Amino acid sequence: MDHPLPPEEVRQAGSLLVVEPKDFSPADEQVLATAKPGQRFENAGQALTKEPPAVRVETEGAVRVLPRVKPGSAVIHLVNWSYDAARDGVQPIKNVQLKRNLPALGVAGAAEARWFAPGTQPATLPIRQSSVTVPELGLWAVVELRSR
């Protein structure tokens, strides 16, 4: 399929991850060559030095974070990886703090989040300085954010 890279979109992009430059057409290679210094990266590790994750966890314990977005809303799936085979369950983690880049998630201006977890009633959690604290994470939970 012939879908050339739009030069204007490449110029406006904050970051470009170009893992296999040989996979591009010669015309697209020329467009990519116009990328500004520090805009083009060859692997995800390089890109993450400039573009921090939209969500990061600041707490003790192993927590996997999977954000999903659509216009005006985002959900963040949280999975507790602190599995204990002897108990066949996880050790709950208290006060899981999520630092979020609200504009990157498409929910700039969100002031509160909704927290959903098995066996608990949904709760509204305040957002303070782009951070929200989940009171307890069992096996999994979901945090929902909506734009104002």
Q: What's the mean pLDDT when you consider all of the chain?
A: 89
**Alpha-carbon span 14 to 39, nearest angstrom:** 6
Token look-up 């703090």 returns 97
pTM, two decimals, is 0.70
Average pLDDT over residues 15-22: 84
> From the centroid of its chain, how far is CA 110?
16
Q: Give backbone dihedrals phi and psi of 108, rounded to 5 degrees, phi first.
A: -55, 140
Q: Which residue has the higher pLDDT, 11 or 131?
A: 131
92 DSSP 8-state letter: -
Domains and CATH numbers, the chain: 7-50 (no CATH), 55-146 (2.60.40.1180)
Burial label for 63, CB within 10 Å (0-12, 13-18, 19+), is buried
pLDDT at residue 8 is higher than 70:
yes
How far is the first Cα of the chain from the last one, in angstroms, to the nearest whole number?
40
Predicted confidence (pLDDT) per residue in 41-98, tens digit:
888 888 877 777 889 898 888 999 999 999 889 999 999 998 888 989 899 999 999 9
